[in-house]
Amino acid sequence: MEASDHMARSDFGRVQKLPSGKFRARYQYLGSLHLAPHTYLTQTDARAWLVAEKRLISSDSWTPPAVRAAAAKRAKATEAQNIFRTYATTWLDGRHDLRANTHAAYTLALKRHLLPTFGDLAIDAITTADVRAWFNSYGQKTPTARARAYQVLASIMNHAVDNDVIGKSPCRIKGGGIAQVKHEPEPLTLAELFALANAMPAKHYALTLLCGLGGLRFGEAVALRRRDIDLRAGTVRIARGATRTNGVKSVGAPKTNAGKRTISVPTVVIDALADHLKTVASAADSLVFPADNGEVLAPSALYGSKPRIEKRGRKKYAKNGYGFYRARVEIGRPAFHWHDLRHTAASLGDQAEATPKEMQHRLGHTTPTMALRYQHSTAERDKAVADRLQAQIDAMAKVITTAP
């Protein structure tokens, strides 16, 4: 159906009644026809738009209605994009640099901790007071989850600053991304480390010494291949790490460049590795510390079972447990964590006069403030650290053998 021919004329523009009963306004200016961005329910509303347009022309502040409509549409779209839920999701989708387990952790932090509070707010509407109130609402609960969520929130806000969405980040809580440590690591002495290794199942003896003297992370150690071990040079090359995300194991590059490294290890570790390699597959790409099924070793298979007392009716039975859980009890360190072997390696390295720079290299650890400072550790100095560690081991062995 065609629009009605009825036109309401005025001294400026025209109003046309459409078959739908609504009204359309338009006018000629500077040789072009300009339409209202939408139709109106009443003729009065359509005329009001014409009056407003004429006022803009008279005040010399006029721009074409189509240009203004497009600008408004863009502003609306930008506003929608800058809602925290949309902005944060887009930011995370664009983080292709994240490892799978890190991406999963960020996703969980967003879903569980950030979106319920900030999801429907505009990025530029979130204040420091809002962030502090959210942070304090946790009290003493889940400090690690809160710290991780704060790190994610701070990263999102810094991204918004870098893209001129906001002028300053509202995340200004000092130490907000650092969780209060519930477990204070207590490194093993050299004697305790060997006691722990001897208490472990034989297949994990070399693994225990390697982590306790070389400082490898669990994921780095279980991802080692035979080609990463150079028995003649006395070195171990760390080039990858094993992770578990949503129940799925994967092996990939270390999280940072500092994680890729080659370290020297004491002779006792090389000897243990040499004996251990006789018990596993001989192919260069074979895992050094595989699980019983040949796949990447899982933490649960290493940790084993804790010693415990079981009740069966009226009787009680002592279960000795097995694996790392049993070994740590046997040496009198029931609260010791496997990750504390890294602290043990750092402590023993300090006793071997390793500099912070050298230990930074050996542990493959980096922070924004330390990355440049500790990136020039040399192979010669690293070998010297391993030699001094071996000297301590030899000295300990001598004391043991000459004791009355």
Largest CA distance in the chain: 120
Tokens found for residue 152: 């994610």
Exactly one of 183, 339, 373, 376 is catalytic; name it: 339
Q: Clarify whether 374 is annotated catalytic.
A: yes
Residue 171 region, left (φ>0) first, then alpha (ψ -120 to 50), else beta? Answer: beta
Tokens found for residue 149: 């969520």
Burial class (CB in 10 A: 0-12, 13-18, 19+), 175: exposed
CA distance 92 to 106: 8
Exactly one of 342, 343, 361, 362 is catalytic; name it: 342
Exactly one of 217, 326, 343, 361 is catalytic; name it: 217
| 25 contacts 13 by C-beta, under 8 angstroms | yes
User: Which residue has tokens 């409509």?
Assistant: 69
Q: Clarify whether 112 is annotated catalytic.
A: no
End-to-end CA distance of the chain: 114
Provide the residue type at 145 as one letter: A
Q: Clarify whether 113 is annotated catalytic.
A: no
Give 303's contacts (C-beta < 8 A, 6+ positions apart): 323, 324, 325, 338
Burial class (CB in 10 A: 0-12, 13-18, 19+), 332: exposed
Give 173's contacts (C-beta < 8 A, 6+ positions apart): 131, 132, 135, 150
N residues, the chain: 404
CA distance 6 to 18: 9
Exactly one of 40, 150, 303, 374 is catalytic; name it: 374
Q: Which residues are catalytic?
A: 217, 339, 342, 365, 374
